[in-house]
Structure 1
Amino acid sequence: MERRRPGRRHLPALATVAALLAFPVQAQAAGQGRIYHVAPWGSAHAYGSPSKPLRTIGDCLSRVRPGDTCLIHRGTYREQVTPPSGTKDAPINLAAYGDGPVTVDGTEPVAGWKDAGGGLVAADTNLPTDPDFNAVFLDNGRAAEGRWPNSGSDPLNTTWAEADSTSTDQHIDDTDLPDADWAGATVHLWAGSNPWAQQTGTVTAGSPGKLDFKGGNHRCPPLCMGNQNYRNYYLVGSKAALDQPGEWYYDTSAHRLYLVPPKGGMANHTVTAKHRLWGVDLSNASYVTVRGIDLWGTSLRTGRTSTGVVVDALHATYISEYSTLPMPPDGDLAIPPSEGHIVASRILDSGVQILGTGNTLENSEISQSAGDGVLVRGTGNTVTGNYVHDVGWMGSYTPGIEINGNDHTVTHNTVRRTGRASIDTAWQLNGTEFHGNRIAYNDLSEAMRTSRDGSPLYVCCSLDGTGTSVDHNSSHDADGQVGFYVDNYSGHFLLHHNVAWNTGTRGTFFNGHTGPSIANQDHNSSYGVGINGNSTLLSGATDASGSYFSNIVGPMPVSATGTGDPRPVVRSNLITDKAGYTDPVNGELWLTDVSPAIDTGETLDGITTEVRGTAPDIGAYEHGEPIWSTGCDLPGCQQRVRHGAWTAAASDGSDAFAAVDGDINTRWTAAAAQAPGQSLTVDLGEPKTVGRLSLDAGRDTSGQPYGFSVSVSRDGTHWSGSLARVSGRSFTQDAAFPARTARFVRITLTASGPVPWVVNDLRLYGDGPDASATLQAEQATSMHRAARTTATTGVLGSGDWIAFRRAAVHGDHLTVRLASTCTTGCALQLRLDTPRGPVAATLPVHATGATTWQEQSVTLPHRETGVHTLYIVAKGGPRVASLDWLTIRL
């Protein structure tokens, strides 16, 4: 039976059908092979026609030859899909038919539940032989392995126990630890003076308030329990931890799964458990196209010899789960083993894996992974246009996208909410060669949720980046210390036209760390609010020969270690807090007409192109050129609510403006220790549609709220009930709730704590774009007869349109930045919900010239509110206008 997953997103219906049906139609027209239909209501002995489909994908794959296609109808397929190889001219094709979701499910039902005493139920079942990869789902949602202390449902907002300062290397003292048999449990550690990674060990003995364990604590210090700044830990893998509904424990010797049942018992509840790590296994296949498939509780991989594989419009959820962080096997390491390599744990056995040569992952949504979101490894692979989020929660160096190898292209991805980096490379596994990679036009945010020493884009270590370009990326709203971080002896990295804000201490950091940092460059980058150290810094290098930093604009200095031959060059930079940015709090770091950065830069071969005026501009955007954008154009890629003139009032009467000023480095601190009922009320100035609040409490070890709830109000008088309750002590804590439109948001403490609570930054998110923010036209979620470029649409003719799915609207003023050669009779219509929906506004288009970009505006007849899919429809001629961006504001 088909199951609809909660919170799933799909491309708009018309785009989905067109995208998914295009491929098999082409294959049939070319006469290259047969088309087989697959449906859950089919038969293994059927012909495979539309009226007599095959029953499983495996039935189809047992018949296909190069050039053949499996068209898969809606439903759930509990099988491992292992395609054979096609050829370069005749690939094998697997595609969703387009009549509903096609889900390859890596789980199997667990039944036969019986009372097990002590408030538990149990079922006898054989889970995979490696217990470390077990995952259990209750009613189609992730069920947490029993743990102490209890935590909420979001693994990136975890609750930690804190060991006493008398703890030592392999010993924990904690007066709060329950008296129970913890022997054999896994202890998960985030401890040390500067813990850049997490580790796990095994409990060997315990007594009231004490634990002994083995493992973990590599490089102690700084990754040591003991009397350190950080002494965080939790326990899993013990029956003693089962104490709240939904928690589970698997007894490997008895093959018995224990569960704390939901209130009311197991009636009408379903439990499934993971059985297949690789739902789509292409490790021995080449020239295969997989399009429009969903994965649940399993993942997809290509292999070292794979080539010509294309994975398009994949929707993969809960792809990797595990509970320990072992040292990578020596055979996986590219350099001699060292205990420090614990940070690379699980990089090679998690995530969607694109290995081999010349393979592609595109237009896909990858989410919910204890480890990697995506691993790209080998040579010449492409990862583009993807939405990767909520991954890496086990806290090793598993990022949103891990890049190993040479000549890869990683572009136009949105990577959000990661345990450590958004994009990373592991030198322990990759080796020191990192040549010819292009990392560009990616939007990286909400990184470093389970660490502190790192960045959304992190390069480490001793890498030779010759030929690699990191350009046109945005890095923002992250809990680390840096936006772009080239660490420990790496050299020959070219960074240019990047932007960063709200990244802590620095925008970009090249860390020599008592070694060489040779020939690194940063040019034409823009840095905004939330950076309080350096805009760009190279420090600690014994040799910085050939390093070069120019055309950078930012609020803080650009500086470099002065050693080397030739010595580092730092020039033509603009250091000012009055750069003339359009809207720095919202990351719109392009220049206004009065910016001192205009025409004051130096010319750099291959870097300063498309110059307007007498000289290049300083910074990432050339004034007068279209504004390029970062990230993907899938639903969900745009969620951040535009920050306006917000104000905040604390229940204790203290000045709370620092909580809402948009700067991650400023801080509001409450007047007294945490107590239930203390609150912070935020006035957004105008209604906003929100579904998630992020409370960023900075990178300190204390001050995070021990528990809070969120409520909203339209008028500041009548309040909703609690929409979300949050506990935990993460740097940033998220409260997710059903979307509401409100002007006021209130955070109320629900627990006591030993110190006052703090807020460095509050951020709000919706389910789609905020129409009062700048909606980049090339990031429209769908287009009709319109082309995309990196910064604009092509010229729209009459009847062409672009659309933004589920945009939050509250405004009466439409502004569009456009270029047009149309002299009469041309217009852009704003329509709601369908291309033929009500006309909310008509904007007459005035000619500007083919390459002259101009903002043109119109006042709507009446204010539009609510959540709508917005259509901009061209009318009046074959060449109406090219679009750069648009907004709808008051």
Structure 2
Amino acid sequence: MVAAAAAAGATTSLPGAAAADTAAGVSRGHTYHVATWGADRADGTAAHPLRTIGRCSELVRPGDTCLVHRGRYRERVAPPSGTKDAPITIAAYGDGTVTVDGTKTVTGWRDAGDGLVATDVDLPLDPSENALFVDGERAMEGRWPNSGPDPLNPSWAVAERTSTDQHIDDPDLPAGDFTGATVHLWAGSNPWSQQTGTVTATAPGALDFKGGNYRCTPLCMGDQNYRNYYLVGAKSTLDQPGEWYYDKDAKRLYLVPPKGGLAGHTVTAKYQSWGVDLAGSSYVTVRGLDLWGTSLRTGDTSTGVLVEGLRARYISEFSTLPMPRDDELAIPPFEGHIVAARVLGSGVQIRGSGNTLRDSDIGYSAGTGVLLRGSGNTVTNTYIHDVGWMGSYTPGIEINGSGHTVTRNTIRRTGRASIDTAWQLNGVPFHDNRIAYNDLSEAMRTSRDGSPFYVCCNLDAKGTSVDHNTVHDADGQVGYYIDNSSGNFLLHHNVAYNTGSRGTFFNGHSSVSLGNRDHNSTYGLGVSTAVRLSGATDASGTYVSNDVALAPMEISGPGDPAPVVRSNLLPPTDPGYTDARNGELWPREGSPAIDAGETVDGVTTGVRGAGPDQGAYEYGAPIWSSGCNLPGCQSRVRNDGWKATPSDGTDASAAVDGVQTTQWKGAAAQAAGQSLTLDLGTAKTFDRLSIDAGMDATGHPYGFAVSVSDDGSHWGAPVARVGGRSFTQDAVFEQRTARYLRVELTAPGEVPWAVNEIRLYADGPDAAATLQAEQATSVRGAERGDAATGVLGSGDRIGFRGVRFGAGADRLTVRLASAGCGRGCSLQLRLDAPDGRVAATLPVPDTGSTDTWEERSVALPRTVAGTHDVYLVATGGPRVAAIDWLTLRR
């Protein structure tokens, strides 16, 4: 799986912390201890703990606490309600990981012939929602064509053009009986939805199926632009270790065992959908728990629930995409609403009103990452990743209702959108929501029609603000997509780069686009059109100003009245970005955007100089950042000007130029041995390579290996091998530090391979990147703002966990502000611990005020290489400096 997703959970409670967490006016209740070595007949003291969280849940009353010691708890946790002044708390004690596990061990395996083993077991979930794990790794349900372990890198088969809406012709289809299997379709002239059906008959090279939504075109198999499909859930697909099939009629589970057999291996199956079930609970705090193979939910009447420090893995699993139930729809049923399949039945669910999810790590879901439904709920500082791989409208965060707050989240690697609101489920009102400071990337992994931030349709967003978000490196059509006549969306101070054809799109869709606004946004590389408004018969109140872009705007068919479009900085003027290749789009000194904007009430605040700047960043102010500050939230490797050399001698600079809309394509059809070699300029540390083929659904490599080298001449064995026909493909391997990297094809293909961009990732930040102080893993002694810290006094510090130096850094640069500290104030760069060795000391100047920012640098006496925790520690006075950002480079 993706290494970035393996980061440890963000929050663990200290011993006794939950019991001491009562605020003034909140009654202090009784504390019970729970431990795997306890007994439910015990009194729940630290010396005589209870055995199960369930027993503790039976005993607690408002104000009480269950402190849970390290261990794995295979049970359903469903505490009663507390009260506003006396919540009930379920919290990790702090002596190790506490896991609520929704799986059970499967035993009784016997030989079943044909290289299979089987056992008779009654799995309680719907057959389409079963999940199996071998030695703690997700096992793939039997499928054709075979696919690797990452469900966001699916291998697709491609049907012949002779196929029809309920029939597939494919000469590559292997012999076997697939009757009853699920066929997953991504097909049509413009497939904005994926569908599933059931195979009804098979023949050599052909099959019939029933299902989908019969919408031809644009969503059907046949003589279409896209004819992608795969099969899952048939015994005849079992042909590689780890694949499984459940015969629901015979209640028999089949498995292809690991090489050497099952001896010494553990198999578990999912038994519990909701390991922490708060559907009937209010005023409950859940702190520091892990979830495995199960999820958490609140209910429609829940209020006052706080979930923090949650680490959830494999929260939802399913293999079919049924139409939502009629009672789940906010508008009359219609076949096109299949796009909303499973949105309401998957993910970590925060329903009700006034509930909060924060400081958490949510990963691996076939469907939604987090569902926000009701009113006045909050999701903040949470890392959400590897979700929505079935390709319906299940996003990283689904927002339904009004008054919600979604801030400071990092959402990465989603099948479709990062943040979505589905009108089929939401209804027309979408009022007073705040969606801000979120970082959305690597979206649209299993689809193309959509965007990281997606709104559909006809929503009235009165009072809603979408601001200070960053979208990038996504394979949809748009960055911020306000689709099909939705109105009253206020977008401002947003950033988009490498999002495909458009940065922001207000789609009137032959109707209206009312009250939509985009102010002070910044659009970088990999965006063909900065802002598009089209198809609106009436654009009253729609207003675009103060935007900065490297691409033009497209305002077509706006109707009467037309939108207001003015005071934007567009080509051919160079906006003077700091480093567009790496998404650092704030203006340099002398940028024409400085002081060139118009005043927009409620938007252009915090002005420096003679007037507002154009774009998302105000020159002279701290540089704001987006995303969470937990481990895993920062992972991209900085591109310092990489070079790519293909074996066919063509110019491959487009593969590493930082521009997703440019493409390198091989000179001939794919063949084993073709290669692309990257020179990173200096050694970098990485554990994931992503090959992005952009919107091209045909140019992906059919198989490749990745090798690394220190000198570009001596190459060891490949560190990863990837097969299949996924649109965007990842190779994941143990962390390496190297200057050179080679991608070599291992399989033939019908067309040349295409690369729009190669990106590298690893856990933790790249030292050469700009490390934003407000994104520090830890801050002590100062407030963490939206764009900087408050003033650090002597002994105060900020820290970044797992910073990757690669071949090394020998210079520290800090952007800081200070006033009145006097001589002797400094910032110490310490490694590995707050009191670790001092790698450099940076004298702090008096900049004139704590709101006047300067960049100061100092050489490191010794080059720092490898991976280190990094701390910047203030010394010399009670008010040393406020910190905006720092870099560590050569």
- Sort the TM-score into its range (normalised by shorter chain): over 0.9
- Residue 728 of structure 1: CA displacement? 2.4
Tell me which residue corresponds to 1:22.
17
Matched, 1:349 2:321: no
Q: Secondary structure at the match of 2:55?
A: helix
Matched, 1:203 2:203: no
| Cα distance in 2 for residues equivalent to 1:856 and 1:99 | 42
Matched, 1:461 2:460: no
Equivalent residue for 1:9, pick from 4, 7, 18: 7
Q: Secondary structure at the match of 1:245?
A: coil
Equivalent residue for 2:637, pick from 631, 638, 641: 641
CA contact (8 A) 1:182 1:206 kept: yes
Matched, 1:366 2:362: yes
- Residue 227 of structure 1: CA displacement? 0.6
Q: For residues 580-613 of structure 1, give each alpha carbon's deviation from its aligned partner in whole angstroms, at most 9, with x where no partner exists.
A: 0101111111010110100111001100001011
Which residues in structure 2 correspond to 1:841-880 (within 5 Å)?
Answer: 841-848=840-847, 849-880=849-880
- Indicate how the Cα distance of structure 1 residues 416 and 664 shifts in structure 2: closer, same or farther if over 3 A, else same: same
Tell me which residue corresponds to 1:819.
817
CA contact (8 A) 1:457 1:484 kept: yes
Structure 2, unaligned runs of 5 or more: none
Tell me which residue corresponds to 2:827.
828
| Cα distance in 2 for residues equivalent to 1:392 and 1:729 | 19
Matched, 1:177 2:190: no
CA contact (8 A) 1:819 1:853 kept: yes
Tell me which residue corresponds to 1:494.
490
- Residue 163 of structure 1: CA displacement? 0.6
| Cα distance in 1 for residues equivalent to 2:13 and 2:81 | 26
Q: Return the letter of the residue paired with 2:825.
A: C
Structure 1, unaligned runs of 5 or more: none
CA contact (8 A) 1:544 1:562 kept: no
- Residue 129 of structure 1: CA displacement? 4.3
- Indicate how the Cα distance of structure 1 residues 218 and 377 shifts in structure 2: closer, same or farther if over 3 A, else same: farther
- Residue 24 of structure 1: CA displacement? 1.8
| Cα distance in 2 for residues equivalent to 1:21 and 1:748 | 54
Matched, 1:86 2:82: yes
CA contact (8 A) 1:28 1:34 kept: no
Tell me which residue corresponds to 2:300.
304
Which residues in structure 2 correspond to 1:91-490 (within 5 Å)?
Answer: 91-490=87-486
Aligned-residue Cα RMSD (Å) equals 1.3
- Indicate how the Cα distance of structure 1 residues 321 and 572 shifts in structure 2: closer, same or farther if over 3 A, else same: same
| Cα distance in 2 for residues equivalent to 1:548 and 1:117 | 68
Tell me which residue corresponds to 2:701.
705
CA contact (8 A) 1:183 1:205 kept: yes
- Residue 11 of structure 1: CA displacement? 5.3
CA contact (8 A) 1:546 1:564 kept: no
Q: Secondary structure at the match of 2:836?
A: coil
Q: Secondary structure at the match of 1:347?
A: coil
| Cα distance in 2 for residues equivalent to 1:294 and 1:694 | 28
Tell me which residue corresponds to 1:56.
52
Q: Secondary structure at the match of 1:540?
A: strand
CA contact (8 A) 1:465 1:491 kept: yes
Q: Secondary structure at the match of 1:62?
A: helix
Tell me which residue corresponds to 1:520.
516
| Cα distance in 2 for residues equivalent to 1:832 and 1:815 | 16
Q: Secondary structure at the match of 2:186?
A: strand
Q: Return the letter of the residue paired with 2:450.
A: G
CA contact (8 A) 2:7 2:763 kept: no
Q: Secondary structure at the match of 2:54?
A: helix
CA contact (8 A) 1:169 1:217 kept: no
- Indicate how the Cα distance of structure 1 residues 626 and 21 shifts in structure 2: closer, same or farther if over 3 A, else same: farther
Tell me which residue corresponds to 1:540.
535
The aligned length equals 882
Tell me which residue corresponds to 2:887.
887
- Deviates further, 644-653 or 384-393: 644-653
- Residue 195 of structure 1: CA displacement? 1.0
| Cα distance in 2 for residues equivalent to 1:201 and 1:741 | 45
CA contact (8 A) 2:535 2:558 kept: no
Equivalent residue for 1:729, pick from 725, 729, 735: 725
| Cα distance in 1 for residues equivalent to 2:780 and 2:486 | 45
Q: TM-score, normalised by structure 1?
A: 0.98
| Cα distance in 1 for residues equivalent to 2:154 and 2:726 | 6
- Residue 7 of structure 1: CA displacement? 7.0
CA contact (8 A) 1:155 1:393 kept: yes
CA contact (8 A) 2:101 2:292 kept: yes
| Cα distance in 1 for residues equivalent to 2:188 and 2:688 | 31
Q: Secondary structure at the match of 2:858?
A: strand
| Cα distance in 2 for residues equivalent to 1:500 and 1:21 | 44
- Residue 563 of structure 1: CA displacement? 3.8
CA contact (8 A) 2:13 2:287 kept: no
Q: For residues 296-343 of structure 1, give each alpha carbon's deviation from its aligned partner in whole angstroms, at most 9, with x where no partner exists.
A: 000000000000000000000000000100000111100001000000
| Cα distance in 1 for residues equivalent to 2:566 and 2:696 | 35
Matched, 1:554 2:549: yes
| Cα distance in 2 for residues equivalent to 1:250 and 1:861 | 62
| Cα distance in 2 for residues equivalent to 1:332 and 1:249 | 30
- Residue 6 of structure 1: CA displacement? 12
CA contact (8 A) 1:163 1:174 kept: yes
Q: Secondary structure at the match of 2:323?
A: coil
Q: Secondary structure at the match of 1:778?
A: helix
Q: Return the letter of the residue paired with 1:105.
A: D
CA contact (8 A) 1:156 1:393 kept: yes
- Indicate how the Cα distance of structure 1 residues 129 and 594 shifts in structure 2: closer, same or farther if over 3 A, else same: closer
Tell me which residue corresponds to 2:37.
41
| Cα distance in 2 for residues equivalent to 1:499 and 1:21 | 43
Q: Return the letter of the residue paired with 2:876.
A: G
Aligned structure 1 segments of 4 or more residues deviating by more than 6 angstroms? none
| Cα distance in 2 for residues equivalent to 1:802 and 1:48 | 39
| Cα distance in 2 for residues equivalent to 1:681 and 1:818 | 40
| Cα distance in 1 for residues equivalent to 2:125 and 2:9 | 37
Tell me which residue corresponds to 1:838.
837
CA contact (8 A) 1:405 1:435 kept: yes
Q: For residues 641-680 of structure 1, give each alpha carbon's deviation from its aligned partner in whole angstroms, at most 9, with x where no partner exists.
A: 1111111111111111111100001111111111111100
- Residue 638 of structure 1: CA displacement? 0.2
Matched, 1:623 2:623: no
| Cα distance in 1 for residues equivalent to 2:591 and 2:71 | 56
Q: For residues 335-375 of structure 1, give each alpha carbon's deviation from its aligned partner in whole angstroms, at most 9, with x where no partner exists.
A: 00100000000001000000000000000000000000000
Q: Return the letter of the residue paired with 1:699.
A: M
Q: Secondary structure at the match of 2:749?
A: coil
Q: Secondary structure at the match of 2:78?
A: coil
| Cα distance in 1 for residues equivalent to 2:755 and 2:96 | 44
- Deviates further, 122-131 or 86-95: 122-131
Percent of pairs with identical residues: 68
Q: For residues 703-751 of structure 1, give each alpha carbon's deviation from its aligned partner in whole angstroms, at most 9, with x where no partner exists.
A: 1100001111111122231111112222211111111111111100010
CA contact (8 A) 1:558 1:573 kept: no
Q: Return the letter of the residue paired with 1:843.
A: L
Q: Return the letter of the residue paired with 1:813.
A: R
Tell me which residue corresponds to 2:772.
776
Q: TM-score, normalised by structure 2?
A: 0.98
Q: Return the letter of the residue paired with 2:368.
A: D
| Cα distance in 2 for residues equivalent to 1:813 and 1:720 | 32
| Cα distance in 1 for residues equivalent to 2:704 and 2:605 | 50
Which residues in structure 2 correspond to 1:678-689 (within 5 Å)?
Answer: 678-689=674-685
- Residue 142 of structure 1: CA displacement? 0.1
CA contact (8 A) 1:288 1:308 kept: yes
Tell me which residue corresponds to 1:569.
564
